[in-house]
Structure 1
């Protein structure tokens, strides 16, 4: 039986709460059904976005293509196929390297939230400027779309995000302290 003095000497510490991550909440910790449902929802949404983006890119390219002579169309189409294949692989590799770097130096939960706030706070004027540049980029839009598809596909198919690794490490450090 413990004496009253020994029970008073050791303060009871509150458990460290699991940090909430953007878009994943606290489901990342147990990786249960809600976590995988969230990942599936994001994947379906991004597949729809990629399909729409590819449709728009090909439509813009088709408008550009209709304005050039038939001989140049064949050359242009061949260049687009080659450039799109290269861009797809380049987007995949770029994202995988970025992911590997993120896994080596994962962000803390606060850094993840700050990055999400910074991303959400970008100026809408940039979007309007981007729309104008898209019209000028019509001849290379299929390759650009292929790069985005490669990048997003690599991003969606990772087992674990750097933000999850960073949150897990942060949680372990808090519990050990």
Structure 2
């Protein structure tokens, strides 16, 4: 199979087909970039939380509120992980074709632009519960980064089987 017959996947190019060193290097750099963004988001969430009206509370209720935040963050981290794993499992049962994957990414990008603008106001209003939301995001993204194979790769392999009569790595 020539490289021109292999569909290119966003973020992986055609390296997903052979899953060699270039593939793992791309996945590693993507994961490191995403973890850096998550660390930045979590630090902002923590700073907003610490500057929220929580500082107006007396020491006793503040300690209770902080413990509630820690518990909520642990619970939402696990919920984010579980949600993403279930979504990935569902996607693996019916993986997207390369064209379907690109179309889904375009739709997600449009929604992300909308929420990034509208989300700034919500972010400031949600400051008292922002650490729990950040923990949910961490769980969700960690679950997506730790899969052996992405649903888009499975879909591309199935697409290759149908269109070229071949599958697997060479």
After TM superposition, the score normalised by the length of structure 2 is 0.90
Asked if 1:24 is matched to 2:12, the reply is yes
Q: Distance between the aligned counterparts of 2:141 and 2:79, measured in 1?
A: 12
Residue 61 and residue 167 in structure 1: after superposition, are their counterparts in 2 closer, same or farther (change >3 A)? same
Asked if 1:171 is matched to 2:160, the reply is yes
Q: Is the 8 A contact 1:43 1:156 kept in 2?
A: yes
Indicate the residue corresponding to 2:31 in structure 1. Answer: 43
Which consecutive unaligned segments of at least 5 residues does structure 1 have?
Answer: 1-13
**What is the number of equivalent residue pairs in this alignment?**
164
Stretch moving more, 116-125 or 56-65: 116-125
Larger Rg: 1
Q: Distance between the aligned counterparts of 1:123 and 1:101, measured in 2?
A: 22
Which consecutive unaligned segments of at least 5 residues does structure 2 have?
Answer: none
Indicate the residue corresponding to 2:83 in structure 1. Answer: 94
Indicate the residue corresponding to 2:147 in structure 1. Answer: 158
Q: Is the 8 A contact 2:38 2:138 kept in 1?
A: yes
Q: Distance between the aligned counterparts of 1:15 and 1:66, measured in 2?
A: 59
Asked if 1:132 is matched to 2:118, the reply is no
Deviation readout 1:89-108 (Å, 9 max, x if unpaired): 00000000001001101000
SS of equivalent residue, structure 1 residue 152: helix
Deviation readout 1:28-75 (Å, 9 max, x if unpaired): 000011111110011110111111111011101101222222121111
Asked if 1:52 is matched to 2:17, the reply is no
In the TM superposition, structure 1's runs of 4+ consecutive aligned residues that sit over 4 Å from their partners are: none
After TM superposition, the score normalised by the length of structure 1 is 0.87
